[in-house]
Structure formats: structure tokens, C-alpha cells
Structure 1
Amino acid sequence: MPTFRPATAADLAALLPVIRQFHADEHIAWDESRVRPALEALIGEPYNGRLVLIERDGALAGYFAVGFCFSLEFGGRYGLLDELYVLPAQRGGGVGKRALAEVEAVCRAEGLRCVRLEVSDDNPLAREIYRRSGYAENPRRLMTKWLSGASEG
């Protein structure tokens, strides 16, 4: 049975290789100089969101990062599940499903009424886990524009 706890600055050394692995699996460019300050902002300022470790039998099994956003469409603040990753050796037994329930509990505790997430088109297993947990696809596409002076991924 997995357990969940907020990440601390002391966890970053062990967590960064796991996040790097997630980025490689999802074909996301790795830039530790951009990721580390974002992690520190999640750890240091709870209003931004949460960085949570997933542990199983005392070992790091994965993590999730949920950011708190604002939308008129959703009536104010909502949760954006930015990253959820379970290490391959730790998969199975409902770890992902339990992690999603924990994401939702974190958001409810913040008074949020909605959680959104991104999932790659080439990850049908994750999409199915999300669907079975009650998430539905939207008929719109997520689009991104990097602002001048910001580094692209």
C-alpha cells in the first residue's frame, strides 16, 4: 500500500533523478536549472501547489506535482496535475489510482472543486487509468507559447 508525504528540500537529491526519468519517458526536454527552482517554489510556497512523494515499503515509488491555478471557467482556483510518475518497478497494485485519489484529497483540502491534467496522446495506459478514475477528455487542445526571454523546453 503506498503512502504519501509532502516533499522537502532534503528530498530533492533523491527525487531529481526520478523526475529526469519521467521527463525522458514523456519526451520532455530536461533542464535542471529550470526544474529545480520550480520544485523549490512548490516546496516553499504552499499557495503554488504541492510536491508529494509516493512511497511504498519505505522506498521512493514516485511523485506527483499539482499546481494551483485560476480560471473563470472553473469558478476560481483549480488544481492542475502537472506530473504524476510511478517508477516502473513500483507499478501495479493500484498505486496510480491511489495517487490520483491523493491528488484529489489535496485539492479538496484547498477548497478546489476541479482537477485538470495533461496526458500524452501516446500513453493509452495512463489515459485509461484517468478515465476509470472519472477524468474526461475535453474537446480543446492545450497550446503553449514561451514568452520572450523565457527558455523553451
Structure 2
Amino acid sequence: MSAQIHLATPDDAERVLSMVARFHEEFALDLSDEHRARAVLPLLEGHPLGAIYLIGPRRAPVGYICVCFGWAIEMGGIDGFIDEFWVRPSVRGRGIGMEALHKVMTALGEAGVFFMHLEVDREDDRAQRLYRRYGFEARERYFLMSMDLSKLPKA
């Protein structure tokens, strides 16, 4: 199986939301269907801050990569963040993930993205090996910090 990639559109919503739900279930992310739809549908409709790529045949994708965009002076301009990357468990270990990652990274580089980031579970050695083989490196000086703005402290 070749790791074809396709930019997901609103026509792919059902397939994408199903895979996102499976990813969230696999990684024990307790998010509602409404939450997923609110986060995914704008990307399928062309929101400029992100994109979702389907992996495999458009009608029967075997995974997806969600990329979000920002700007970093240190990185020279547009940077991206792999927000979610999931391949169906039954086809893992066949090189599909690496091939899809390469195709998406190539397309993003050609589109003017200068730098890519991702976060990976500290205990997920398999995913870390994949990303290291591709060329991602840990930034030892930095670590990711996050804040839920819905819980913003009152002034």
C-alpha cells in the first residue's frame, strides 16, 4: 500500500472524525464528539491555521496527519506543529507512516513552512524512533508548556 496523501475537505468529515475518535480512544483522551467536530470541521473548510491530510486512498484512508501553523521569529517565519498523527493499528510497521510524513513535510516545505515541531509521549519509544529517523530532534533546552484559556485566572 502506498502512502498517498490528500488534503481533507468537508466531504471527508465523517471519515476524519471517525479516525480522530479512534486516535483519542487509543490515547485515552476523553473528548466529546462535539469537541472534536468544533476542532476539526474548520480545518476541513480551509481555515488558514491548519490542515488535515488523509493517508491512503481517499475513500478508505488508513490514517491522518493534522498540522497547525504559526509564526516564529527564531525559526525564520512560518512554523508548523504536527498536532495529531494516526495510522490504523492494522497497517502500522509497514513504512506507511514514514512515507506519509515525508510527503507532508515535503509539501509544507514547498509551501513556505520553515520549521516543524511535534510533541510525543515520553513513554512512546516507537513513535520517538520514527520521528528521530526522520530527523526530528528533542530541544533539550526547552519543554512544552500549555494553558487552557477557558480556565484563565481572574484579574
TM-score between both structures, scaled by the size of structure 1: 0.88
Partner of 1:19: 20
After TM superposition, give the deviation of residue 126 of structure 1 in Å: 0.4
Partner of 2:40: 39
After TM superposition, give the deviation of residue 87 of structure 1 in Å: 0.3
> Is the Cα–Cα contact under 8 Å of residues 6 and 58 in structure 2 kept in the other structure?
no
After TM superposition, give the deviation of residue 28 of structure 1 in Å: 2.1
After TM superposition, give the deviation of residue 101 of structure 1 in Å: 0.5
> Is the Cα–Cα contact under 8 Å of residues 78 and 107 in structure 1 kept in the other structure?
no
- Partner secondary structure for residue 62 of structure 2: strand
Q: Alpha carbon RMSD of aligned pairs, Å? A: 1.9
- Partner secondary structure for residue 67 of structure 1: strand
Q: Which of 122, 129, 147 pairs up with 1:145?
A: 147
Partner of 2:98: 97
Partner of 2:130: 129
Which amino acid in structure 2 is aligned with residue 44 of structure 1? Answer: E
What is the rounded CA distance, in whole Å, between the counterparts of 2:8 and 2:134 in structure 1? 24
* 1:49-83 CA distance string (max 9 Å, x none): 21111115963200010011111221221111111
TM-score between both structures, scaled by the size of structure 2: 0.87
* 1:71-105 CA distance string (max 9 Å, x none): 12212211111111000012122111112102212
> Is the Cα–Cα contact under 8 Å of residues 9 and 40 in structure 1 kept in the other structure?
yes
What is the rounded CA distance, in whole Å, between the counterparts of 1:57 and 1:20 in structure 2? 18
**Aligned residues between the structures:** 150
Unaligned runs of 5+ in 1: none
Partner of 1:117: 118
Residues 1:45 and 1:15: Cα distance change in structure 2 (over 3 Å): closer
What is the rounded CA distance, in whole Å, between the counterparts of 2:67 and 2:50 in structure 1? 5
- Partner secondary structure for residue 111 of structure 1: coil
> Is the Cα–Cα contact under 8 Å of residues 13 and 44 in structure 2 kept in the other structure?
no
Partner of 1:60: 61
Partner of 1:86: 87
* 1:12-56 CA distance string (max 9 Å, x none): 112212111111222322222222122222122252221111115
Tell me whether 84-93 or 127-136 shows the greater mean CA deviation.
Answer: 84-93
- Partner secondary structure for residue 45 of structure 1: coil
Q: Which runs of 4+ in 1 moved over 3 A?
A: none
